[in-house]
Amino acid sequence: MTLTGTRHYVGFGFGAIQAGLFLYEAYQSDNFQRLTVAEVVPQVVDSIRRADGMFALNIAQADRIERVQVGPIHIENPAVEANRQRLIKAIAEAGEIGTAVPSVNYYVADGDSSLHRILAEGLRLKAATGKPRAVIYTAENNNQAAEILEAQVMEAIPEAEQAAVRAKVRFVNTVIGKMSGVVTDAEEIRGQQLPQVTSDNSRAYLVEAFNRIQISQIDFQGEPFARGISVFEEKADLLPFEEAKLYGHNAVHALAAYVGAMLKLRWIADLTTVPGAMAFIEGALLEESGAALIHKYDGLDVSFTPSEYQADAYTLLDRMMNPFLRDTVERVGRDPKRKLGWDDRLIGAMRLSLSQNIQPYRYAFGTAAALAALEPSILHNKTKAEHILLPLWDGTNMVETEQRQVLELVERGLQALRQWVAEGYPNLDAFYSRML
C-alpha cells in the first residue's frame, strides 16, 4: 500500500490525538507521500513496524463505530541514534509537523533525543538545504504551547542561524475539541469488537468523527502557505475559541462527569436516562458559560452569535452523549484537583459568567460535586468549600472580591448538592429550579 500525495508530515507522540487526528486527517487528505511519527516506547515502535506501518483506528460515528486502517507510517524512536537521524531528515522535508505529547513539559528533556533538539536540528537542515517551509501544530492543551515550543527550539539553534530558520517555520497553537481515548480493557475491546492498534498491541484507539479544529493564523509575511491538512480552520484571534473550549466544552463535560459520579454511573452517555440531567447540563452550557461567551465576544465571529452558538452547543451535547464513544465518567472526571483550579474549567466558567453579570448556579453545583469527588466526606459534615479550594488556589493572583463571590456561590452549590442527595436524587432540572 502506498500514499498518493507529494507532501511529508512528521508527528511527535503516538497517542490517540496524533493517530486519530493528525495522522488520520493527513492520510485522508491524499496530499501526503510520507507520514512519520516519533515515539519513545520501544514496544509500540516494534509493533507498528511488524504491522508494516499500518495501524487500526476506531471512529465513533453517531450510529456506529467505523473501523479503519491507516498507513503506512514510518515510526522512529528518537532514543536510537539511527532513528533520530532519520527524524531530523524527515523534519527537513516536512511541510507540516504536529506535536501531541502529554504536556508542554515534555518538549525538553536531557540529551540529543529531546523533542526540542530534534526539531532544532531538522529545522536547521531545512534552512541550510532550501527545503519546504513548515508549520508546527502544537496540541498540548496549553494556549501558549506554540510560543513555549518556539522559544525552546530557537534556544537550541545557533544565533547566526536563527533568522534563516524563522523564515522557514511557523509555530501554531490549536484548539482541539475532538474527544478521544485509549481503550485498554481486554473485555471491552472484545465486547465492542474494537480492532487493536496492531494485532500484537493490547490497546485500541477510539475517537469521535468530529474534526472541526481551530488553529492560529499562519503568516509567512504575506506569502501564501497551502496546508495539506486542509480541514483545520485558521483564526486571526484564537483566544476566544480557547475560552469557548475550556469554559464551554471542557466545563460542561466536567459538570456532566461529576453529576454522573454522584449517581455512580459508569458511562457519560448514561446521563441521558437520568431525569432532568440533560436539561440541567444544557442550561449550564447555554445560559451560563455560553451566554457569557456570546456577550463577551459579540461581533467577533459567527461562532459567538446566539443561533450559531446554540446549534454548536446542541451538536456538542449529542457528541458527548454518543454511546459509541464509550466515554467513562471516571475518565472525564479524573484529576479533580486540577479541574478545580482558579483558571481551569469549572471555576473559570464561573468567573467568566460572573464577569458578564451572569450567575453560574449550575456550575457552582457542578463544582460542589467535584469537591465531593475529591473529598466525599464533605457531603456528610459541615466542612466549607473554601477549606478545600483555597489551598488549591494558593499562589494564584486573585482579586479578593471575585474570590469571595466564587466561594459564596460554591458554598450555595454545596448546600444544594447535600439537599439533592438527601432527597434521593430527584429530577435535577426541576430540583435546581425549585432551589433558586
Candidates 319, 340, 333; CA nearest to 260 is: 333
The pLDDT of residue 395 is 85
Is residue 1 one of the residues assigned to a domain? no
Residues 217 and 308 in one domain: no
Residues 252 and 121 in one domain: no
The pLDDT of residue 165 is 98
Residues 397 and 260 in one domain: yes
The pLDDT of residue 125 is 98
State how far the Cα of 192 lies from the Cα of 186, in Å rounded to an integer: 10
Residues 227 and 117 in one domain: yes
Distances (CA, A) of 296 to 132, 290, 353, 356: 40, 10, 10, 7
Residues 423 and 326 in one domain: yes
Is residue 386 one of the residues assigned to a domain? yes
Are 363 and 247 in contact by the 8 Å Cβ rule? The answer is no
Total domains present in the chain? 2
Residues 178 and 254 in one domain: no
Residues 67 and 126 in one domain: yes
Are 40 and 87 in contact by the 8 Å Cβ rule? The answer is no
Of 221, 236, 251, which closes a domain? 236
The pLDDT of residue 436 is 79
Residues 222 and 256 in one domain: no
The pLDDT of residue 137 is 98
> What domain range includes position 398?
240-435
State how far the Cα of 139 lies from the Cα of 146, in Å rounded to an integer: 9
Q: Where are the beta strands (DSSP E) in 210-295?
A: 214-216, 233-235
**For the domain that residue 103 is a member of, what is the CATH number?**
3.40.50.720
Is residue 124 one of the residues assigned to a domain? yes
Is residue 218 one of the residues assigned to a domain? yes
Residues 387 and 299 in one domain: yes
Is residue 250 one of the residues assigned to a domain? yes
Is residue 81 one of the residues assigned to a domain? yes
Cell reading at 2: 502506498
**For the domain that residue 383 is a member of, what is the CATH number?**
1.10.1040.10
State how far the Cα of 268 lies from the Cα of 286, in Å rounded to an integer: 19
Q: Is 105 exposed, middle or buried (0-12, 13-18, 19+ CB in 10 A)?
A: exposed
Residues 231 and 307 in one domain: no
Candidates 371, 378, 350, 359; CA nearest to 432 is: 359
Is residue 2 one of the residues assigned to a domain? no
Is residue 146 one of the residues assigned to a domain? yes
Q: Are strands 214-216 and 134-138 parallel, antiparallel or unpaired?
A: unpaired
pLDDT in single tens digits along all 436 residues of the chain: 678 889 999 999 999 999 999 999 999 999 999 999 999 999 999 999 999 999 999 999 999 999 999 999 999 999 999 999 999 999 999 999 999 999 999 999 999 999 999 999 999 999 999 999 999 999 998 999 999 999 999 999 999 999 999 999 999 999 999 999 999 999 999 999 999 999 999 999 999 999 999 999 999 998 999 999 999 999 999 999 999 999 999 999 999 999 999 999 999 999 999 999 999 999 999 999 999 999 999 999 999 999 999 999 999 999 999 999 999 999 999 999 999 999 999 999 999 999 999 999 999 999 999 999 999 999 998 889 999 999 999 988 899 999 999 999 999 999 999 999 999 999 999 999 987 7
Of 169, 201, 236, which closes a domain? 236
Residues 305 and 431 in one domain: yes
State how far the Cα of 74 lies from the Cα of 121, in Å rounded to an integer: 19
Residues 185 and 280 in one domain: no
Of 236, 261, 294, which closes a domain? 236
The pLDDT of residue 1 is 60
